[in-house]
């Protein structure tokens, strides 16, 4: 890259690479990549949790299996935390810049119609996202750092004592308010993914007149499947499991 | 043809830093075959005759090809008709007795100069950073002397249809200029004439876009729907790919 007009100081390597992610395309790449990472995690999380439908032993065995990963689990958790932090920090800074880019809004708001993909979901990403953040904190506090073996939640997994996570989950979802709260947040998760999934591909530069409509439809399908899948668990426990 | 009576709410603002407000006007005897700007001309004649200050708005060719005009009509940039600039929007689109709200493009990077006129010099500064080919072109070349694949020629041509009106910025919920800049980047991306400056161009233009204070693109796609030339958001994806390639080649986002 040559520029005869400007004889600027050559920045260092780290500074140079960081400058890429300080630009509008760079920030969207971070948000998109971390978002797709989180979608991957959520799919895995749902798949694992579906063991709940196979009863107490299956669910506790699955939880114990994850725990037995030991140090590897910590590495995965730290990586996941980093992805969360990147996604949240970049989403908040991007939104702040967007608000600043139009200090005074329109008196009348309209929609230009197709082929616009502007929707309730696309316009509420920051709100659904922040609510999902609050939910995630409560969710981790409730289950991951909730009562365990020392508080008497002991189950028998393959002949050894393990944490009875099933009992904790089953007890929690006896409360109708927790069931309703979980279910409504999962609807918001669906909204977030409905725009977020295809948008991540577009942010990474993956647009094709033929494939983009498919990715867009896949995002809607994924949003519905994930929301319904996660809502099915508290509803099933509330309706059919008594403790 | 039946004549129409319309109730208008029009943004009035004396100067750049003055406080503005919507002003009500009722206008009669509007013909359906008048253009939107002709309707405003009729209103201005009425205002001038009454000794009042006419409403300032931009227009030039009035043929939908120069990109000078642009109003947000009932919350939609260039009004309700697709692929149509404000000057080519006709009053038959509206009904007798309608209330129409008319506002200027709203973006921090497009300061309002007066009433409905905004300063779009930010676009010029972006173009100055690389929206051109700096080789001497000489006289027109013979047709087909420089072979270009049909699909690339089509993509470039579609991107080059951008008239730089700024409706994409006005329509974007984030006031992002991504569609404009991407059209100006990708019209050269696949052409041999644009190739030597390909990477420098995208870095410089994106940097300038960011410096002007436009928002980020959140992939709403509202810009494409509002664009009078139907520029596809595929160009935004192309710009992002080009940007990453250029930044990695240069080792930095700054040239």
Interchain pair A102, B74: CB under 8 A: no
What mean pLDDT is reported for chain B?
A: 95
First to last CA, chain B: 60
Q: How do the domains of chain A map onto residue ranges?
A: 23-98+124-240
Long-range pairs of A29-33 with CB within 8 A, sequence gap ≥ 24:
A29/A203, A29/A204, A29/B240, A29/B244, A30/A86, A30/A87, A30/A90, A31/A87, A31/A90, A31/A91, A31/A94, A31/A200, A31/A203, A32/A199, A32/A200, A32/A201, A32/A202, A32/A203, A32/A204, A33/A200, A33/A204
Instruction: Identify whether the C-beta of residue B68 lies closer than 8 Å to the C-beta of residue B61.
Output: yes
Pairing of strands B99-103, B4-12: parallel
Q: Does A4 touch chain B (CB under 8 A)?
A: no
What region does B144 belong to: left with phi over 0, alpha with psi -120 to 50, or beta? left
Residue A106: left (phi > 0), alpha (psi -120 to 50), or beta? beta
For chain A, say whether B83 makes contact (Cβ under 8 Å): no
User: Among partner residues B76, B206, B253, which is closest to A110 by beta-carbon distance?
Assistant: B76
User: What pLDDT, in 10s, does the model give residues B215-245?
Assistant: 999 999 999 999 999 999 999 999 999 999 9
Report chain B residues whose CB lies below 8 A from the CB of A108. Answer: 74-75, 101, 103
Interface touch A202/B236, C-beta < 8 Å: yes
Q: What mean pLDDT do residues B122-134 have? A: 96
Please give the pLDDT value at position A9: 60
pLDDT classification of A51: cutoffs 50, 70, 90: very high
For chains A and B, count residue pairs whose Cβ atoms are closer than 8 Å: 170
pLDDT band at A11; cut points 50, 70, 90: low
Determine the pLDDT at residue A66. 94
Residue A173, pLDDT score? 96
Instruction: Write out pLDDT tens, residues B181-205.
Output: 999 999 999 898 899 999 999 999 9
* Bigger pLDDT: B151 vs A11: B151
- What would the mean pLDDT of B137-161 be, rounded to a whole number? 89
Average pLDDT in the B111-127 region?
98
- B107 Cβ under 8 Å from any chain A Cβ: yes
Q: By the CB < 8 Å criterion, does B224 face chain A? A: yes
**3-class secondary structure, B249:** helix
Residue A189 confidence class, pLDDT cut points 50, 70, 90: very high
Which tokens is B163 given? 């008239």
Query: What distance in Å separates residue B255's CA from the closest CA in chain A?
Result: 7
> Pick from A98, A106, A205: which is nearest to B216 by CB?
A98
The yes or no reply on domain A23-98+124-240 and CATH 3.40.50.300 is no
Q: Confidence class of residue A133 from pLDDT cuts 50, 70 and 90?
A: very high
Q: Name the residue among B74, B220, B233 with its Cβ closest to that of A122.
A: B220
pLDDT tier at B44, thresholds 50, 70, 90: very high
Mean pLDDT over all residues of chain A? 93
Q: What residue in B sits closest to A201 (Cα-Cα)?
A: B237
Report the pLDDT value the prediction gives residue B254, as an integer from 0 to 100.
67
Of 3.10.20.30, 3.40.50.300, 3.50.30.10, 3.40.50.970, the CATH number of B4-103 is 3.10.20.30
The residue-averaged pLDDT of B48-76 equals 97
Q: Tell me if chain A has a CB within 8 Å of the CB of B126.
A: no
Which of A73-82, A219-228, A234-243, B143-152 has the least mean pLDDT?
B143-152
How far apart are the CA of A106 and the nearest CA of chain B, in angstroms? 7
Q: Which A residues in the span 10-69 are in contact with B, Cβ-Cβ below 8 Å?
A: 11, 13, 15-17, 19-20, 22-29
As a whole-number percent, the residues of chain A with pLDDT over 90 amount to 86
Are residues B240 and A116, on separate chains, in Cβ contact within 8 Å? no
Q: Which residues of B touch A94 (CB under 8 A)?
A: 216, 218
Q: Band of the pLDDT at A19, cuts 50, 70, 90?
A: confident
Diameter over CA atoms, chain B: 65
Q: Residue A134: pLDDT band by 50, 70, 90 thresholds?
A: very high
Residue B250 has pLDDT above 50, yes or no: yes
What is the per-residue pLDDT for A10?
65
pLDDT digits (tens, 9 = 90+) for A89-116: 999 999 999 999 999 999 999 999 999 9
For residue B136, the model assigns a pLDDT of: 81
Q: Which of B22, B217, B241 sits opposite A28 (nearest CB)?
A: B217
pLDDT of residue A1: 43
Residues 6+ apart with CB under 8 A from B196: B135
- Contact criterion met (CB < 8 Å) for A205 and B244: yes
Chain A residues whose CB is inside 8 A of the B236 CB are: 202, 207
Class of the CATH domain delimited by B121-250: mainly alpha
CB-CB contact of B171 with B77 (8 Å) = yes
* CB < 8 Å to B233, chain A: 202, 207
* Residue B251, pLDDT score: 73
pLDDT tens string A156-173: 888 889 999 999 999 999
* Domain residue limits, chain B: 4-103, 121-250
CA distances (Å), B182 to each of A28, A57, B188, B232, in order? 15, 56, 10, 10
Q: What percentage of chain B exceeds 70 in pLDDT?
A: 98
pLDDT at A2 over 50: no
Q: Does B218 lie at the interface with A, CB-CB under 8 angstroms?
A: yes
Tell me the mean pLDDT in the region B59-77.
97
């Amino acid at each position: 890259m040559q520029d005869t007009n400007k004889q600027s100081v050559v920045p260092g390597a780290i500074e140079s690479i960081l400058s890429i992610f300080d630009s509008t395309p760079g920030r969207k790449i971070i948000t998109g990549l971390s978002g797709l990472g989180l979608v991957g995690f959520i799919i895995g999380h749902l798949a694992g949790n579906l063991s709940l439908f196979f009863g107490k032993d299956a669910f506790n065995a699955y939880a114990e299996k994850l725990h037995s990963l030991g140090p590897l689990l910590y590495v995965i958790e730290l990586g996941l935390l980093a992805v969360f932090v990147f996604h949240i920090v970049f989403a908040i800074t991007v939104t702040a810049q967007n608000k600043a880019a139009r200090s005074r809004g329109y008196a009348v708001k309209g929609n230009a119609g197709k082929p616009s993909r502007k929707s309730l979901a696309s316009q509420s990403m920051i709100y659904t996202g922040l609510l999902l953040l609050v939910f995630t904190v409560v969710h981790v506090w409730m289950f991951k750092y909730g009562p365990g073996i020392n508080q008497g939640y002991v189950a028998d997994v393959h002949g050894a004592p393990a944490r009875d996570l099933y009992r904790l989950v089953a007890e929690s979802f006896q409360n109708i308010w927790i069931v309703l709260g979980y279910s409504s947040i999962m609807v918001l998760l669906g909204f977030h993914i409905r725009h977020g999934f295809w948008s991540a591909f577009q942010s990474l530069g993956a647009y094709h007149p033929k494939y983009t409509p498919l990715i867009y439809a896949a995002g809607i399908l994924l949003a519905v499947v994930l929301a319904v899948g996660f809502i099915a668990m508290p509803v099933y426990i509330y309706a059919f499991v008594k403790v | 043809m039946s004549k129409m009576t319309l109730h208008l709410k029009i943004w009035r603002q004396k100067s750049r830093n003055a406080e503005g407000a919507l002003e009500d006007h009722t206008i009669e005897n509007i013909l359906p075959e008048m253009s939107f700007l002709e309707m405003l001309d009729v209103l201005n004649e009425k205002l001038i005759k009454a000794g009042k200050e006419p409403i300032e708005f931009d227009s030039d060719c009035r043929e939908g090809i120069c990109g000078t005009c642009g109003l947000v009509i009932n919350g939609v940039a260039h009004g309700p008709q697709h692929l149509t600039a404000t000057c080519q929007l006709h009053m038959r689109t509206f009904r007798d007795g309608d209330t129409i709200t008319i506002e200027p493009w709203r973006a921090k990077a497009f300061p309002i100069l007066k009433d409905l006129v905004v300063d779009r010099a930010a676009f010029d500064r972006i173009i100055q950073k690389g929206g051109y080919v700096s080789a001497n072109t000489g006289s027109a070349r013979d047709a087909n002397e420089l072979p270009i694949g049909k699909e690339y020629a089509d993509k470039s041509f579609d991107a080059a249809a951008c008239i730089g009106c700024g409706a994409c910025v006005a329509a974007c919920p984030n006031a992002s200029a991504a569609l404009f800049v991407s059209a100006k980047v990708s019209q050269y991306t696949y052409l041999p004439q644009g190739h030597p400056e390909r990477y420098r161009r995208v870095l410089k233009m994106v940097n300038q876009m960011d410096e002007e204070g436009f928002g980020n693109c959140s992939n709403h796609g509202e810009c494409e729907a509002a664009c009078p030339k139907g520029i596809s958001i595929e160009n935004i994806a192309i710009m992002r790919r080009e940007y990453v390639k250029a930044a990695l080649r240069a080792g930095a986002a700054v040239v």
